[in-house]
Amino acid sequence: MPWIVLVAVFALLQFSVFGALVGRARGRYGVHAPATTGHEMFERYYRVQYNTLEQIVVFLPALFLSAGYGFGEDWMSAALGAVYLIGRQMYLTSYVRDPKSRGLGFGLTVIPVAMLLFNAGVGAAYTLI
């Protein structure tokens, strides 16, 4: 379970860094709170953070459920979590550069989450049989 917790900690730290980047962009581009629109570059950072919030709400439970009920060792779920973290970083860099290029980072986010959920669901169902 330590690998799972470590991945979860990194995911939360990553999300916090994304929030800090939004704050920095807010100051850099003169978008004063509570506004969430204004300069295009600020909006890109903001969208990355918001999309990460949408994803992490599913990712964290899926990670722990897969480790607890899924097939395989914990490190397998942790490895999928690491792919999620890499995908989120790729999503950030590509979306800030050009939002149209976010596809690979997004894919490396949603596919591991879907696999974690599938593993957890099948593992839990198997225990009922």
Confidence of residue 102 (pLDDT cuts 50, 70, 90): very high
The pLDDT tens digits of the residues spanning 103-113 come to 999 999 999 99
The pLDDT tens digits of the residues spanning 10-65 come to 999 999 999 999 999 999 999 999 999 999 999 999 999 999 999 999 999 999 99
pLDDT confidence of residue 129:
83
- Concatenated DSSP letters for 13-76? HHHHHHHHHHHHHHHHTT--TT---SSHHHHHHHHHHHHHHHHHHHHHHHHHHHHHHSSS-HHH
Residue the block writes with tokens 């969430």: 36
Fold for the domain defined by 2-124: Four Helix Bundle (Hemerythrin (Met), subunit A) (1.20.120)
66-93 b/e with 16+ CB inside 10 Å = b?
bbebbeeebebbbebbbebbebbbbbbe
pTM here is 0.94
pLDDT of residue 68 exceeding 90 = yes
Amino acid at 89: Q
